[in-house]
């Protein structure tokens, strides 16, 4: 964390107050700054359009501390990711209740496809995938000194069954990386420990609570946790790991996002007196407008 983070956060608050009245206007007014942050060839106008779509899909973003929304978008600009685009699944901005400051903050959630997009930016990564083994699939993994043997044949003659195992792999120039499989019990334990969105009574809500979205969350987990420790990381992928599920208030297009992203204590998706449910329209889905990915 940068030594002058508090000063920059205060500047962000001041800038947010000076911006036009609505959050949509503030986002549009930041287009020039977003462009300064973006990789060559990317268009800030597209990021602004994506952000306005996010506001329509997730109305509670308009109730978030403005600097947290703008800061999350600035990180998306620097990473070259498009937030809230269901077909891409790069990233989402989700309103989370900040118990310390008693307000809603926009938390940046980077998706499974966002991680794969950033992984390909390293010239030694040839291919990367995160896969699910269902109970009716044929799966064999054997380790030996002569080389690992991986055989995974999805069942195609009917329902594939229930999720059984998760693994991730990458083909690299001169080699490969393969994670050890996680069982369904392993993934459930991970979810119970790390899921951010919970009700006051501890009940998990959001994508981890939906069986279909659970699988996408698990695929991301296999890349973010074991696989990234085994492959060469692009600069952007290393940044993504550090800023995922964080809140940024700094609006500078040139600062390292890892230095200005905080991971505050989050108490659920919405304010404590607003009980969310698995079908809450304000929770963006993983693969369609309105759902989250983690």
**Cα 251 to Cα 5: distance, rounded to the nearest angstrom:** 11
Spatial contact of 89 and 289, defined as CB atoms under 8 Å apart: no
Would you mind telling me the total number of residues written for the chain in this entry?
Answer: 294
pLDDT tens across 23-79, in order?
A: 999 999 999 999 999 999 889 999 999 999 999 999 999 999 999 999 999 999 999
Selection from 281, 132, 292 nearest residue 209 by Cα: 292
**Cα 215 to Cα 246: distance, rounded to the nearest angstrom:** 22
Look at 160 and 98; give whichever has higher pLDDT.
160
pTM of the full predicted structure? 0.81
Residue 133's Cβ-count burial label (10 Å; 0-12, 13-18, 19+) is buried
**Cα 7 to Cα 292: distance, rounded to the nearest angstrom:** 31
**Cα 218 to Cα 186: distance, rounded to the nearest angstrom:** 10
pLDDT tens across 71-117, in order?
A: 999 999 999 999 999 888 899 999 988 888 889 999 999 999 999 99
**Considering the chain, what percentage of its residues have pLDDT values greater than 90?**
68
Query: Which residues make beta-bridge pairs with 198?
Result: 204
């Amino acid at each position: 964390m940068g030594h002058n983070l508090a000063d920059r956060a205060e500047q962000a608050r001041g800038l947010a107050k000076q911006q036009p009245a609505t959050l949509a206007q503030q986002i549009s007014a930041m287009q020039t700054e977003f462009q300064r942050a973006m990789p060559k060839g990317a268009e800030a106008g597209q990021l602004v359009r994506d952000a306005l779509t996010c506001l329509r899909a997730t109305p509670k973003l308009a109730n978030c501390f403005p600097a947290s929304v703008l800061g999350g978008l600035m990180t998306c600009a620097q990473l070259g990711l498009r937030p809230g685009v269901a077909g891409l699944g790069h990233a989402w901005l989700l309103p989370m209740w900040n118990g310390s400051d008693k307000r809603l903050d926009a938390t940046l959630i980077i998706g499974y496809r966002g991680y794969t997009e950033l992984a390909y930016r390293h010239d030694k990564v040839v291919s990367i995938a995160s896969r699910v083994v269902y109970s009716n699939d044929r799966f064999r993994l054997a380790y030996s000194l002569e080389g690992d043997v991986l055989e995974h044949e999805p069942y195609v003659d009917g329902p594939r069954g229930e999720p059984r195992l998760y693994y991730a792999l990458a083909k690299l120039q001169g080699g490969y990386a393969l994670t050890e499989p996680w069982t369904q019990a392993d993934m459930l334990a991970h979810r119970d420990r790390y899921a951010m969105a919970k009700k006051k009574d501890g009940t998990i809500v959001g994508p981890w609570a939906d069986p279909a979205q659970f699988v996408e969350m698990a695929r991301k987990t296999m890349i973010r946790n074991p696989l990234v420790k085994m492959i060469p990381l692009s600069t952007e992928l290393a940044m993504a790991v550090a800023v995922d599920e964080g809140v940024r208030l700094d609006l500078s297009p040139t600062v390292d996002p890892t230095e200005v992203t905080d991971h505050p204590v989050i108490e659920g998706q919405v304010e404590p007196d607003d009980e969310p449910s698995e079908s809450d329209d304000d929770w963006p889905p993983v693969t369609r407008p309105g759902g989250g990915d983690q």
